[in-house]
Structure 1
Amino acid sequence: MSQAAEIEEAAARWIVRQEGGDWSPEDDAALAAWLDERMAHKAAFWRLRHGWAEADRVGALGFQPGEPRARRSWRHWAGSGRTWPRVGAAGAIAAALALTVGIAGLTLRTSPDDPTQAAPAPALVQTPVGIQRTIALRDGSKIELNTATAVRTAVGANPREVWLEKGEAYFDIVHRPDAPFVVHAGPRTVTVLGTRFIVRRDDEKVTVAVLSGRVRVEDASKATSARATVIGQGDIALAQSNGALLALAAPGRVDAMAGWRDGVLVFNNQRLEDAVADFNRYTKRPIRIADPAVANIRIGGTFQIDNSAGFLDLLHTAYGLQVRPEGDSIVVAP
């Protein structure tokens, strides 16, 4: 279990105990001490609390058709005798709450017109802000495009090639020894050695995360492979605009990068400025941070991609920040 998941599980257990009816002043002091240990503890606790408030609006999860959709208390869930597969009651509650936050507007996984469209070669496929789309290539490979992403494909050729013009995409590639699969992302090329991986391009900055298999990342502007590196499952390669290329083993970060495929953003002790930048990729009304000190606050937790309102509510409730609309944006200030 990742550190973020352990914190979320602990936060859920605190809430279960708090609603259990035998809460004492000693428990109150112990909870306060736990919350003060790390900002990530506060973020997880108040996010789950907020999720339960949202559950009041959408009704309890898991009822059979025809059952009343009234709010059920934590005590009911914790003491109902339900059998939770593979996880404890607190873990199940945490999972349920993670689903309720932002449940009113789920992120689309496909285009409105066609969930899986075969892309002829060459072809340009784009997604607007807030939309995700899956395309099937002629060779049996699959590409999932995240928000505000554009790719060009030429998969009928040898080598098979894709150009990531902007954004982020997940690749599930059919291995063919006779036809390499190459992803061009600005100044970098990613040559597939049979794998599943994610490539994100922010202008000239390129990030590659490998979920399985191996890829080779190299500088496309160099005739030599001196700046090439091979990374495998659980590894990330970070290529900067100045030509620097860093590879590191970071399985937790790889999992977090893949969160958008399940409609969530996963933060593990990240700067608030970076978390806000991620949220802004999915909305046409961006969040702005008004103070550099606020930008450096560390934050952790799992959030629905399309629920920036819940994220902002957390910043106000747990961190004491001011959140106000200002023109076409939302400002976060101390």
Structure 2
Amino acid sequence: MKAPPEFESGSAAEPSAGAARRAADALDEAALWLSRLDSGTADPEAFERWRAADPARAIACARVAAAWSALDDTPAVLAAPPHKALSRRAALMSFGGLALAVVGVGVSGKVLAREQAKTGVGERRTIRLGPGARVDLNTDSHVFWRAGPDLVTLWLERGEIAVSAAAGAATVHVRGEGVEWRLAPGRYNARLDDDRLELTTLDGMAESRRPRPVRLTPGKRLILRDGVVSTGEAPGSALARATAWPQGEIVFEDAPLEEAVAEYNRYLERKLTIADPQIAHLRIGGRFTSSDPSDFLAALQAVLPVRAQSSGAGVVLTHAG
């Protein structure tokens, strides 16, 4: 049987040097894998195949995960000054004593990376984050989270969520698009569209850490658009929508038809289309079932000069005159 290259020369020093190189390379690869898992850009199954192929990789993953956990728990006052910052590898090696030392012990991707959940169009889903804390996902939404005994961190990647935390529950932080909020016990709604991030405080208090300190009391709303933060009272229509969607309902209060249709289409596979521009600015109000637009379409045709016609792709709205 041919010996591995580091054993071929017969030198006693070379095996340990080769092993050190492999361990260092495994640390770098593990850090890259876990960073990608953490950001949601890696395939968990591919990671498991990579990790299972070599026990040294499992050990490296455990060391990286332990180092990250230790760094997360280290107070800022203990951090090294910028001019003494360690390289990634040096930082990881300095936490070597925290590593799992049993060869062959598996490390689950769920432990090493954030948990995540998604909903499809028209779906809703509830995730229990721990005792007294939960997040509800609205249609076509995507979140990551990491839950500890005292802190739950949520990352909103897309869509809309309702967050609730009871008194005594773990502290909840919500992050998205460069903004971070610390949520006191209460109920909150967060929504991330393509270019607009919104947080509404239904009850409780939210404190923004980034991009600038802001405190939101009940009934307040923060909006981030194009890097600009604005705060103020949440309109009644926004509060009504935030409390309606977890119940499977959608609410409009004197909304332009084009706005109402865009909002409804978030929940529908078969979309509504306004084919006649002259009806786009007509206004509609009411409370409807988000999963079925039948009542909405009936109301449109009863109170507005609008005709709804089914097509292969959805429903087309035209002027009835």
TM-score in terms of structure 2 length: 0.59
Contact 1:229 1:247 in 2 (8 A): no
Partner of 1:11: none
Of Structure 1 and Structure 2, which has the larger fraction of its residues in helix?
Answer: 2
Helix, strand or coil: the match of 2:159?
strand
Q: Could you list the per-position Cα deviations for residues 203-261 of structure 1 after superposition, in whole angstroms to 9, with x for gaps in the alignment?
A: 23112121211112354xx4xx2xx3211212222222342423224355313321011
> Does 1:283 pair with 2:274?
no
> Does 1:196 pair with 2:181?
no
Helix, strand or coil: the match of 2:245?
helix
CA drift at 1:329: 2.8
CA drift at 1:158: 6.4
Partner of 2:238: 253
> Does 1:140 pair with 2:125?
no
Partner of 2:307: 322
Contact 1:168 1:200 in 2 (8 A): yes
Q: Gaps (5+ residues) in structure 2?
A: 1-109
Counterpart-to-counterpart distance in 2, 1:265 and 1:290 = 23
Contact 2:129 2:152 in 1 (8 A): no
Counterpart-to-counterpart distance in 1, 2:265 and 2:308 = 15
Change (3 A) 1:217 1:296: farther
Counterpart-to-counterpart distance in 2, 1:288 and 1:191 = 39
> Does 1:171 pair with 2:163?
yes
Change (3 A) 1:252 1:318: closer
Change (3 A) 1:275 1:176: same
Helix, strand or coil: the match of 1:283?
coil
Partner of 2:199: 208
TM-score in terms of structure 1 length: 0.57
Q: Gaps (5+ residues) in structure 1?
A: 1-118
Matches within 5 A, 1:1-334: 122-156=114-148, 159-174=151-166, 180-217=171-208, 219=210, 222=211, 225=212, 228-251=213-236, 253-334=238-319
Counterpart-to-counterpart distance in 2, 1:252 and 1:285 = 25
CA drift at 1:151: 0.7
Counterpart-to-counterpart distance in 2, 1:262 and 1:218 = 31
Partner of 2:78: none
Q: Could you list the per-position Cα deviations for residues 19-47 of structure 1 after superposition, in whole angstroms to 9, with x for gaps in the alignment?
A: xxxxxxxxxxxxxxxxxxxxxxxxxxxxx
Contact 1:257 1:266 in 2 (8 A): no
Aligned length: 209
Counterpart-to-counterpart distance in 2, 1:161 and 1:287 = 36
Helix, strand or coil: the match of 1:137?
strand
Contact 2:220 2:231 in 1 (8 A): no
Change (3 A) 1:175 1:185: farther
Counterpart-to-counterpart distance in 2, 1:134 and 1:212 = 19
Contact 2:237 2:252 in 1 (8 A): no
Max radius of gyration: which structure? Answer: 2
Partner of 1:106: none
Letter in 2 for 1:201: L
Counterpart-to-counterpart distance in 1, 2:141 and 2:272 = 20
Change (3 A) 1:293 1:238: farther
* Larger RCO (alpha carbons 8 Å, 6+ apart): 1
Counterpart-to-counterpart distance in 2, 1:311 and 1:255 = 17
Counterpart-to-counterpart distance in 2, 1:190 and 1:273 = 32
Q: Could you list the per-position Cα deviations for residues 86-127 of structure 1 after superposition, in whole angstroms to 9, with x for gaps in the alignment?
A: xxxxxxxxxxxxxxxxxxxxxxxxxxxxxxxxx977211111
Contact 2:284 2:300 in 1 (8 A): no
Counterpart-to-counterpart distance in 2, 1:150 and 1:299 = 30
Counterpart-to-counterpart distance in 2, 1:235 and 1:173 = 18
Counterpart-to-counterpart distance in 2, 1:245 and 1:297 = 28
CA drift at 1:282: 1.0
Counterpart-to-counterpart distance in 2, 1:123 and 1:172 = 18
Contact 1:139 1:155 in 2 (8 A): no
Counterpart-to-counterpart distance in 1, 2:183 and 2:162 = 13
Helix, strand or coil: the match of 2:130?
coil
